[in-house]
């Protein structure tokens, strides 16, 4: 039943965006504000702004909006926020009704490319050229991560990277080795089993298939999609079979939790590692601050395991700020994004929750006042910067649907409904069908 629902959701998402594209950028706009036209001077302008995140992120974002409204009294920002679950389903419904928010938090890869393919995002190049959007202190490689087909469609909110976050005290109590920069998947599993055996806890949280399998492919020299995004980027299904077999073995042995446990977790503040029910979690570095605040100890960060870590690791926009093509106030929406990107007080408020600042001057200014966990995050991003490869940008418009299918297959394998071999073959068949091959 869950698979059917997830597939339906992905299909509705794609269909809704297709419908929105048919509606196109109507001359009535997205009805995104209550103002009476215009976009400058003393006129009162309302901007709708959407994002996903934890309650901690919501609270910090409210403070930033208050700062901006205080400096710009003619601007009123109406927030629309939720958790990750359901965010893009809601956006799809808004897109279908030509009612997308003026300012949108977007996710790099599958969702940015999907919305771009439907012409729903404004090209911000003209605002960069006019100076309303100042990216002069941002590395070009970071700016490029928000581009698609020469259009600037998203501004990274900060820099991010996958990390193996761990509880050093639990590892030491179990007598296990601490992770190193050259550890392998076998080393990782040995430590996880050691902690499980010695402390009677989980040895690790189970993997999120989309992110971790993509890394698993990269460190072996492959990609999830081929260069032009028309097919999968690997030919041998044994790679996915091996990944699923590793993950399932730890679930079967009780070293990692199954989906029945994972689905009971109420947000990142409630993750197993926060409550010392597991010493490892493989996830994004920008989530460490919120998790650390929920825990009574400070985490440590390490690169993910593998035989070729520099090839597998990559920097990613934590998320991106985009402007709706239908917005009647693109210039004002861009000015808020410029404020968020180039104002130190913004990052004094939100820390690294939306990634490490992309403005080089702000990033260096902030180093002197970082707390312990943020110092670790900044140092970690520096390490990954020196030991990583460029991010893959070849996600086709259908990639969100394909990643949903991968997660569904992962769940069926973990429950024992199909074997890893069957899951790998079924994923290829489904992906090719979705891509129209």
Residue 216 token pair:
């698993």
DSSP character at residue 167: -
Q: Tell me the β-bridge partners of 50.
A: 80, 104
Burial 240-275 (b: 16+ CB within 10 A, else e): bbbbbbbbbebbeeebbbbbeebeeeebbbebbbbe
* Tokens, residue 339: 């404020």
How would you classify the pairing of strands 103-106 and 45-52? Answer: parallel
**pLDDT confidence band for 54 (50 / 70 / 90):** confident
Q: Assign 267 a pLDDT band (cuts: 50, 70, 90).
A: confident
pLDDT band at 190 (very low <50, low <70, confident <90, very high): very high
Q: Contact at 8 Å (CB) between 123 and 243?
A: no
Q: Record the tokens describing residue 369, joined without a space.
A: 């006042």
Average pLDDT over residues 11-28: 40
The residue whose two tokens read 């950028």 is 25
The predicted structure's pLDDT at residue 154: 96
Indicate the pairing of strand 280-284 with strand 300-302.
unpaired
Residue 213 in this model has a pLDDT that exceeds 50: yes
Distance (Å, whole) CA 392 – CA 406: 18
The DSSP H or E segment spanning 3 is helix 2-23
Rounded distance between C-alpha atoms, residue 435 and residue 437, angstroms: 6
β pairing state of 75-82 and 45-52: parallel
Strand residue runs (E) in 83-202: 103-106, 147-148, 151-152, 155-156, 159-160, 162-166
pLDDT for position 24: 35
Helix axes 399-414, 209-218, angle to 10 degrees: 100
Q: CA dist 292 to 14, 62, 178, 297, 358, Å?
A: 36, 21, 19, 7, 22
Q: Examine the pLDDT at 30 and tell me if it is beyond 70.
A: no
Q: Quote the percentage of the chain above a pLDDT of 70.
A: 90
Is 151:125 a contact under the CB 8 Å cutoff? yes
41 falls in which pLDDT band (50, 70, 90)? low
Nearest to 55 by CA among 272, 344, 293: 293
- 360 contacts 137 by C-beta, under 8 angstroms: yes
What tokens were used for 163? 């990390």
Place of tokens 């001077």: 41
* pTM flag (> 0.75): yes
Q: What pLDDT sits at residue 198?
A: 98
User: Residue 323 and residue 103: Cα distance in Å, rounded?
Assistant: 5
């Amino acid at each position: 039943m869950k698979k059917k629902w997830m597939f339906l959701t992905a299909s509705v998402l794609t269909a809704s965006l297709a419908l929105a594209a048919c509606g196109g950028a109507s001359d009535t706009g997205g009805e995104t504000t209550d103002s009476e036209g215009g976009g400058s001077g003393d006129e009162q302008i309302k901007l709708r702004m959407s994002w996903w995140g934890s309650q901690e992120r919501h609270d910090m974002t409210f403070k930033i909006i208050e700062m901006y409204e205080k400096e710009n009294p003619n601007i009123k920002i109406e927030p629309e926020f939720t958790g990750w679950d359901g965010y893009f389903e809601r956006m799809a419904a808004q897109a279908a009704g030509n009612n997308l928010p003026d300012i949108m938090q977007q996710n790099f890869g599958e969702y940015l490319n999907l919305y771009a393919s439907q012409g729903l995002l404004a090209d911000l190049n003209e605002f960069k050229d006019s100076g309303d959007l100042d990216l002069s202190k941002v590395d070009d490689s970071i700016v490029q991560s928000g581009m698609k087909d020469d259009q600037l469609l998203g501004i990274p909110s900060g820099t991010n990277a996958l990390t193996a976050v761990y509880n050093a005290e639990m590892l030491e109590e179990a007598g296990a080795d601490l992770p190193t920069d050259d550890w392998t998947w076998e080393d990782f599993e040995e430590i996880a089993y050691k902690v499980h055996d010695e402390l009677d806890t989980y040895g690790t949280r189970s993997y999120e298939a989309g992110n971790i399998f993509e890394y698993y492919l990269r460190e072996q020299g492959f990609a999830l999609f081929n260069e032009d995004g028309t097919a999968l980027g690997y030919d041998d299904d044994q790679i996915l079979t091996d990944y699923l077999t590793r993950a399932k073995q730890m679930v079967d042995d009780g070293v990692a939790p199954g989906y029945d446990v994972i689905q009971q977790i109420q947000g990142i503040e409630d993750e197993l590692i926060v409550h010392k029910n597991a010493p490892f979690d493989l996830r994004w570095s920008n989530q460490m601050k919120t998790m650390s605040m929920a825990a009574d100890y400070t985490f440590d960060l390490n690169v993910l395991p593998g035989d070729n870590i520099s090839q597998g690791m990559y920097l990613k926009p934590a998320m991106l700020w985009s402007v709706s093509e239908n917005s009647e106030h693109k210039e004002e929406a861009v000015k808020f994004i410029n404020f968020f990107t180039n104002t130190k007080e913004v990052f004094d408020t939100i820390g690294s929750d939306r990634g490490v600042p992309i403005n080089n001057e702000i990033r260096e200014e902030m180093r002197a006042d970082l707390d312990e966990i943020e110092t670790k995050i900044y140092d970690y991003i520096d390490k990954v910067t020196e030991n990583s490869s460029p991010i893959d940008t070849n996600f086709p418009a259908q990639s969100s649907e394909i990643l949903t299918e991968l997660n569904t297959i992962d769940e069926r394998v973990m429950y024992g409904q199909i074997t890893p071999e069957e899951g790998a073959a079924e994923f290829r068949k489904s992906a090719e069908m979705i891509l129209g091959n």
